[in-house]
Amino acid sequence: MYWPEEFPTLDPERPTKPLLHMIWPPEPATLDALLSAAAARRAAVGVADDDAGAHWREEVRRLGRLSRRRRIFGRVGWY
């Protein structure tokens, strides 16, 4: 798992750990780099990509909605 503080220094060419899931939405450029690197690794070993990035893009959209809701609720004292 990568924490939000790790995203700015994340090097997709040399990840320190595998990406299994996200608990916070990364910046679009970070997500694009992660997905490109994963697609390249899959292609290098002959594994079909089957638009695996679509799952992660939807996950990031969902996390974005949750993070916005959390910020709003936090302002009114619900979190």
Q: Give the C-alpha separation, 58 to 70, whole Å.
A: 18
Q: Does residue 19 surpass a pLDDT of 70?
A: no
Mean pLDDT, rounded, of the chain: 79
CA dist., res. 27 & res. 21, Å (int)? 15
Tokens of 3: 């924490």
Within a domain: residue 61? no
Domains identified in the chain, total number:
1
At residue 24, the pLDDT reads 78
Report if residue 21 sits inside a domain: yes
Alpha helices in the chain (DSSP H): 28-44, 52-75
Q: Is the pLDDT of residue 17 over 80?
A: no
Residue-number span of the structural domain to which 21 is assigned:
17-41
